Structure formats: structure tokens, C-alpha cells
Structure 1
Amino acid sequence: MFDKLIAARQKAEEIKKRLDNITVVGEVEVEGGIIKVTATANKEVTAVDIDHVFLANADKEELEELLAVAINHAIRQADNISQTEMQGAAKDMLGGLGGLL
């Protein structure tokens, strides 16, 4: 039983490392430009790119709102990938139970 706990912990660490290397992008297209947020599948934002033409013409409230939308889009994508990875790992670990699950 202890060996299975150690194996599960190691598998979780492997998944976390893999998620650090998966990139997701949340984009919002706006009048004449794009706001793009890049993050890892572990939900760490690594870059924000705001089209310079849009930035020059945007007001603060509009920029804040659209930036939040782009960040949330990237985080949702990261959540989806993370859930898929964890479900796959759980299936692999539980697969040896003779198909009871």
C-alpha cells in the first residue's frame, strides 16, 4: 500500500512538470487588435501581449475588462488540460483493479 502512495505522488509530480511545459493562450479580438494572454497548464501566466494600436485608443476600463476575459480564457484552457491529465493518471493507477471502476 505504501508503495502505491509513493507511486501516486511520483505520478502527480510528473504530471505537474508536464503541465509546466504545456502552453495555453487566451485571446480576445477587439477593434483593430488582439489581447493575448499566455500561460502554462499549471495556470501560471507567462506573457501578456496587447496590440499597440488598440492600447493607444483603449480606455482603462475597457482594457481591464478585456484583459480579464483573456486571462479567464487561458485559465479555463489550463483547467481543461489539467483535468484531462489527472483523469488519465487516475485511470492508469486504478486500471489494475480488474475493471471495477
Structure 2
Amino acid sequence: MAGPSIEDIMAMAQKAQEDLAKAQDELGKIEVEGVAGGGLVKVRATAKGQINGIEIDDSLMNPDEKGMLEDLIAAAINDARMKADHAAAEEMKKATAGMPMPPGMKLPF
């Protein structure tokens, strides 16, 4: 019994490439929200890591709280980044389901 032909392998590779490209496009549509300070600072970002917006509670608009505000913004961005990475990993897992991958190989490259 013969294995898949070279044409079959090429077609599978082409479909895999198309699925990955589609998944990459989807990452720009998935939005996550990073939060810090119990919701006083919120950062919206895409699963690709693009920051779409920042919300800061008015109570933090005090010059004496500048250092805390800066820390909360950094924490909210880091939270958004972690959530974006998780969402991207889940999306790529869907796109690569059933695709044989060598151990330790991660997508996107």
C-alpha cells in the first residue's frame, strides 16, 4: 500500500499554510483586557499584542499618586500581554490541530 503522493503532501502543506495565515488574521480580532488595582486601570489589547485602549479611574488622577498610577498601568499592560499570549496560543492550537509538529516546535515561527 502506497503512502500519500507528493501532490497530496503539497496540498496538505498548502492548506496548513492557509489555516495558519487565517489564524494570524484572527489574532488581530480577538481582544483581551488587562486589569490592575482592582479594576482602577484597564488595558485593552488584541491577541497580537496591539494596545487598543487604556482606562484610568478618576481617583488615580492625583499628582501624589503618580508612581502608583505608573505601576498600575505597567501591571495592567503585563496582564493584557499575558492574556493576549494565552488567546494567541489557543487560536494557534485550533489552527494546527491535527498537524504533525516536531516536539518543541511552536507556532508562529
TM range (shorter): 0.7 to 0.9
Distance 1:56 1:13, change over 3 A: same
Identity across aligned pairs (percent)? 30
- Aligned to 1:59, the other structure's residue is in SS state helix
Counterpart position of 1:2: 10
Q: What is the 5 A alignment of 1:63-82? A: 63-82=69-88
- Aligned to 2:40, the other structure's residue is in SS state strand
Counterpart position of 2:20: 12
Report the count of equivalent residues. 92
* Higher percent of residues as helix: 1
Partner Cα distance (2:87, 2:37) in 1: 23
Distance 1:25 1:58, change over 3 A: farther
Greater alpha carbon shift after TM alignment, 21-30 vs 85-94:
85-94
Corresponding letter in the other structure for 2:62? A
* Higher percent of residues as strand: 1
RMSD: 1.9
- State the Cα distance separating 1:57 from its structure 2 match: 5.0
In the superposition, the TM-score normalised over structure 2's length comes to: 0.72
Distance 1:25 1:18, change over 3 A: same
Partner Cα distance (1:87, 1:12) in 2: 10
Pick the structure with greater CA Rg: 2
Q: Which structure 1 segments of 5+ residues have no match?
A: 95-101
- State the Cα distance separating 1:37 from its structure 2 match: 0.2
Corresponding letter in the other structure for 2:27? L
